[in-house]
Chains A and B, each alone.
Chain A
Amino acid sequence: MLLEVSGLSAGYGGITVLHDLDLRVDAAETVGLFGPNGHGKTTLLKTISGLVPARGGSVRFAGTDITHAKPGRIVDLGLIHVPQGNLLFPDCTVAEALALGAWPGRARAREAANRARVEDLFPRLAERRRQKIHGLSGGERQMLAIGVALMAEPALLILDEPTLGLAPKVRGELAAAITALAAGGLAMLVVEQDLRFLGAVAPRLVLIDRGHVVLEAPSATIDEDAIMTRYFGDAA
C-alpha cells in the first residue's frame, strides 16, 4: 500500500473538519475524491502533505509514518501535492518554476528527461518557457502546476480540483493529460467536482461528507443520481 490514512482527525482552531477518516491508495492506483464543498477534501490533502497538523490518527506513505512530518520531508519521500488554484510564483518564468520543481535531490539526475516529458505532455509550456507566470492563462497555469509537480518525480501525485474554473476545451486537455499519467502507472489522488471527469480517470471513487468517508466504490458502480440526491436533496 502506498498511502494509508487511518483514523485521521484535523481542523482549524476550535473546529474539527476531519473526523476519524480512513483512506488508502495502492501503488499505481488512481483514486478519485469527491464530495460537497467545505466538507474536508482540501483539509484532508493539506493534512496528508503536512500543511495542516493532524490532531489524531496516522498517515503512512510508502512504509514511513509522515503524520507529523514537515512538508519538505514529505516532498523528499515523493508525495507531491498540487494545491487548489495554485498561483505558483507570478514573477518567475515557466522554466524557473520547472527547475524549482526539481529541487529535491533525488529529482536532479533525471531533470532534463523529466522536463522533456512535461513539455511533451503540455506542449504549450514549451512555447512559453521564457514567459513570466503572471502572464499565463488559468489553464496554462494549471498545466504548469502539474508539470512542476512531475519534475519532482512523484511516487504519489495529489491534485486538488485541477480543472476548477477552466473552460471546457482546456478542461478536456487537462483530463487527457491526467488520464495519460494514470495510464503510465503514476499513483494519483484526485479531487474533483465533475463526477464524469473523475470516473473517467479514477477506477475507484471515495465520497467525503462532513469530514467522513461515507462511500467507497468502483466508479462504474457509482450511481450519479444517488450522488446528486446527496448533494442537492430529492428532486421531487
Chain B
Amino acid sequence: MSGDALATIVVSALVLGSLYAIMAVGLAVVWQALGIFNFAHGLFMTLGAYVAWQVASGASWGLWPGIAAAVAASAVVGAIACELLVRPFLGRKDVVLVAVITTLAGATLIENGVLLAWGGRPKQLPPLSTGTVDIFGAALSAHEATIVAITPLILLGVWLFLGRTRTGAALRAVAQNHEAAALMGLPAARLYALAFALAAGLAAIAGIFLGAIRFMSPAMGGDPLLKAMVVVIFGGVARFAGPVAAAYLIGLVEAVSTYAIGLYWTPSVLFLFMIGTLMLRPQGLFGGARR
C-alpha cells in the first residue's frame, strides 16, 4: 500500500468517524434522557442540510447564517417531535417499541415534507472552507479538514454540558428514576424536549458536513442513521466515550473496506464486523448499555 493510499484511508476514516460520532452522540443523548431510540434522527440531519441550503444558497445570505438557522430549525422540530411522537407514550411498558413506530412515522412525514418543499433534485451545500490542505502528503479538502478539526470541539462541548452542568446531570438523571426526579422538582417534559433539541441540533451539523461532500436528497439521512445505529449497538449508549470511540472505529473499518473491497460490499462488511463482535462480546465493545 502506498503512502498516498494510507493517507486517503486515514482521512476518509476521520471524516466518516466525525460524522458518525456526532450522529451517534445524538442518539445516545436521547436514549439516556428518555430510554428510547429515535428513528427520526436521520431526518433532523436532512432537515438541517436543507434549511442551511435554503438560507445559504437559496436566499444567498451566506453559509454561517445558514448553519445557525439549520441548527435552530432542527432543534425546534426535534423538540416538537419529542412532544408529539414520544412523550404521549412515555410510561407505557412497551414505550421502546411504540417509539420505534412513532419516530419512524415522524421520519416518513419529515422526509416527504422535505421532498414537497424542496423537490427531489439533488442539491449541494457550499463547503465550510474552500481550497485544499496538505497533511502528511495527502491533499485534503479544506472542508474535510474543518470537519475533522471541529468535531472534537463539538463533542467536547456536549461532553462538558452533560457531565459538568446541572442541566446535563438532570438530563441523564430523569430516565433513571422518574419518581425521584419528579419529587426533586426536575421538569421532565422540558428535559425530554431539550434532549431531543440537542440531538437534532447535532444532527443538523452532521447534515451540513455531509451536504457539501455528497449530494443532498430527502433520503440523505438514512445511511448515516443506519451507521450511527451500528455505532451505538457497538459502543453502547450508557457512557459518552463508548459511541464516540466506536464511531471512529466504524469509520476506519468503512474506509479500509471501501479501499480494499469496494463501496458495494462495504455495508455487508460493516454488519459482518458488528455481528462478529457481538457474538464475542454481546454487551458491546465498551461495556454497552445497562438498564
A residues apposed to B, CB below 8 Å? 49-51, 71-72, 75-76, 80-83, 86-92, 96-97, 99-104, 148, 152
Among B173, B177, B186, residue most surrounded by chain A Cβ atoms (within 10 Å) = B173
On whether the beta carbons of B173 and A92 are closer than 8 Å, the reply is yes
**Please, which residue of chain B has its CB at the minimum distance from the CB of A103?**
B185
Residues of B close to A96: CB separation below 8 A: 169, 173
Residues of chain B at interface, number, CB under 8 A: 18
User: How far is it, in angstroms, between the C-alpha of A72 and the C-alpha of B182 when the chains are bound?
Assistant: 6
The complex places the Cα of A81 from the Cα of B181 at a distance, in Å, of 11
> How many angstroms from the CA of A51 to the CA of B183 in the assembled complex?
8
Q: Are B177 and A91 in contact (CB under 8 A)?
A: no
- Tally of contacts, chain A with chain B, CB under 8 A: 65
Report chain B residues within 8 Å CB of A75: 183-185
Q: Is B169's CB under 8 angstroms from A100's CB?
A: yes
Which residue of the partner chain, among B179, B182, B184, contacts A100 with CB atoms under 8 Å?
Answer: B184
Asked if A76 meets B180 with Cβ closer than 8 Å, knowing A89-B173, A92-B169, A92-B172, the reply is no
List residues of chain B with CB under 8 Å of any chain A CB: 166, 169-170, 172-173, 176-177, 179-187, 238, 290
Q: Of all chain B residues, which has the CB nearest A49?
A: B183
Give the shortest distance, in Å, between A25 (CB) and chain B (any CB). 18
Partner of B183, one of A76, A81, A90, A102: A81
10 closest Cβ pairs, A-B complex: A75-B185, A89-B173, A71-B182, A89-B176, A96-B169, A72-B185, A81-B183, A104-B185, A99-B166, A103-B185
CB neighbours of B169 from chain A (8 A): 92, 96, 99-100
Contact of A91 among B176, B179, B184 (CB under 8 A): B176
Closest B residue to A77 by beta carbon equals: B185
Contact of B172 among A86, A91, A104 (CB under 8 A): A91
Complex Cα–Cα for A141 and B214 (A): 52
Q: A89-B177, A91-B172, A91-B238 are in contact. Are A100 and B183 (CB under 8 A)?
A: no
Residues of chain B lying within 8 A (CB to CB) of residue A100: 166, 169-170, 173, 184, 186
Q: Find out whether the CB atom of B184 lies under 8 angstroms from the CB atom of A103.
A: yes
Q: A72-B187, A100-B169 are in contact. Are A89 and B180 (CB under 8 A)?
A: yes
Contact B179 A83 (CB under 8 A): yes
Residue of A76, A86, A100 with most partner-chain B CB within 10 A: A100
Task: Give complex CA distance A90, B176 in Å.
Answer: 7
A83 cross-chain contacts in B, Cβ below 8 A: 179-180, 183
Q: How far is the CB of A47 from chain B (nearest CB, A)?
A: 13
User: Closest CB-CB distance, B27 to chain A, in whole Å?
Assistant: 17
Please name all residues of chain A whose beta carbon is closer than 8 Å to the beta carbon of B187 when the two chains form the complex: 72
Are A51 and B179 closer than 8 Å at their CB atoms? yes
Chain B residues within an 8 Å CB radius of A72: 182, 185-187
8 contacts between A and B (CB under 8 A): A71-B182, A71-B185, A89-B173, A89-B181, A91-B290, A92-B176, A97-B173, A99-B166
Instruction: Give CA–CA (A30, B26) in the complex, Å.
Output: 47
Look across to chain A and name the residue whose beta carbon is closest to the beta carbon of B163: A96
Check A148/B176 contact, CB under 8 A, given A96-B169, A103-B166: no
- Contact assessment for A88 and B185 in the assembled complex, using a CB-CB cutoff below 8 Å: no
Q: A72-B182, A101-B184, A152-B184 are in contact. Are A88 and B177 (CB under 8 A)?
A: yes
Query: Are A87 and B185 closer than 8 Å at their CB atoms?
Result: no
Give the complex CA separation of A30 and B187 in angstroms: 29
Contacts of A99 in B (CB 8 A): 166, 169
CA A71 to CA B118, docked complex, whole Å = 45
Q: Which residues of A contact B238 (CB under 8 A)?
A: 91
Residues of B contacting A71 in the complex (Cβ-Cβ under 8 angstroms): 182-183, 185
